[in-house]
Amino acid sequence: MHSMESISIDDRELPLYVTAPGSNSYPGILLVHAWWGFNECFRDICDRLASEGFLVVAPDLYHGDVASTTDEADAVSSALDATRAVEDVSAAFDFLRTHQRLANGLGVIAASMGVYYALRMVQDRPDDIDATVVFYGTSDGDYVETSTAVLGHFGENDPFEPEPNVEAFRERVQAGDGPVTFHTYPDTEHWFFESDRPEYDEDAAELAWSRTVEFLRAEL
């Protein structure tokens, strides 16, 4: 069961994709898309999470725009107002927190560009998020006050997030109170999890998926 909804934030409307497996209450997950926009791949990820027993809310930070090439994605992501994007992610999370079909447990999943905005919210709301999953994205900041459990998925051959970046990020999030588990997938690149990208690696993606579902079920 899925629907497109919207919420008002100051002078704008934020589109939200909302999906759940049925009419009962479920643990909640906020999903923040990569720089391509909220495309069919991320819609499918939302639906797959719902089929595993989660209520999922995904904000469309580009308001319907979708990029298919790196040049297009670079242009549309560069035009995104970072402050507004952080506000949008936080507002979408509030929508999830107050959803009538939410059971106990709140998690966040983000990929690539979306990781930056998701982790800003994790730092700003350290007590609200039980589990955080990041795909090939890192962020700076201070995680000392956070208590979220963190699961990270990274590509071995990723020029956007090389190993030193990942290790520095690991050290930052380990300053928090929650457990931290990172996986690096051999011979994979950035976007290896996204089925519509040439970098997609089916074996690595399926392993990352099973680890993600297991992690979310344990933490939410």
pLDDT digit string, tens, across residues 120-156: 999 999 999 999 999 999 999 999 999 999 999 999 9
Domains along the sequence of the chain with CATH: 2-219 (3.40.50.1820)
Residue 170 phi, psi dihedral angles, 5° rounding:
-55, -45
pTM: 0.95
User: Measured between alpha carbons, how far apart are the two ends of the chain, in Å?
Assistant: 21
* The pLDDT of residue 209 is above 80: yes
Q: Provide, rounded to the nearest whole percent, the portion of the chain with pLDDT above 90.
A: 91
Say which DSSP state 130 is in. S
Order across the sheet with 2-9: list the strands: 2-9, 12-19, 55-59, 26-32, 102-111, 131-135, 149-155, 180-185
CA dist 45 → 39, 49, 57, 95, 196 (Å) = 10, 6, 11, 19, 12
